[in-house]
Amino acid sequence: MRLALIAHDEKKDDLIEFARAHEEWLSEAELMATGTTGKRLMEATDLDVERKASGPLGGDMQIGGEIADGDCEGLIFLRDPLTAQPHEPDVSALLRICDVHDTPLATNEASATFLLEGLFADDR
């Protein structure tokens, strides 16, 4: 199972806490993330994360390519709907590619929990 993790700047701490709370499940997956998010996740957890480019440098598009190639089974993109900055990844392109390829996409912690529960339901 291969999962992607992205977070806007204001949501990076939330993603780290989410990863800590769900580390058992996440450790069973191959993880990839945009550059800074991946670095922070590896520093704060024992998770191994393949780092793509930073979001402003196209890391989100690299992840979109993985989804288009069928090499990603789910995306958790904790976005900041109120104060996202212009340099941060835009969820709309990723939403489109996930919809085209029927790949689950979670944009908040509640839906991310459901995504993990759905993907790992057979493990319970």
Domains and CATH numbers, the chain: 2-123 (3.40.50.1380)
12 marked among binding-site residues: yes
Cα 120 to chain centroid, rounded: 16
74: phi then psi, degrees, rounded to nearest 5: -175, 150
74 known ligand binder: no
- What's the chain's average pLDDT? 93
Whole-Å CA distances, 45 to 20, 79, 97, 115: 6, 21, 29, 20
Predicted structure pTM score: 0.92
What integer pLDDT is reported at residue 82 of this predicted model?
A: 81
92 among annotated binding-site residues: no
22 is in an annotated binding site: no
1-48 per-position pLDDT tens digit: 999 999 999 999 999 999 999 999 999 999 999 999 999 999 999 999
Residue 123 contacts residue 28 (beta carbons within 8 Å): yes
Q: Pick the catalytic residue from 9, 13, 60, 69.
A: 60
Cα distance between residue 89 and residue 63, in whole Å: 11
pLDDT at 84: 63
Q: Is 102 part of the annotated catalytic residue set?
A: no
Query: What is the rounded distance in angstroms from the CA atom of residue 98 to the CA atom of residue 79?
Result: 16
Residue 113 known to bind ligand: no
The CA distance from 35 to 53, in Å, is: 5
Whether the CB-CB separation of 45 and 5 falls below 8 Å is answered with no
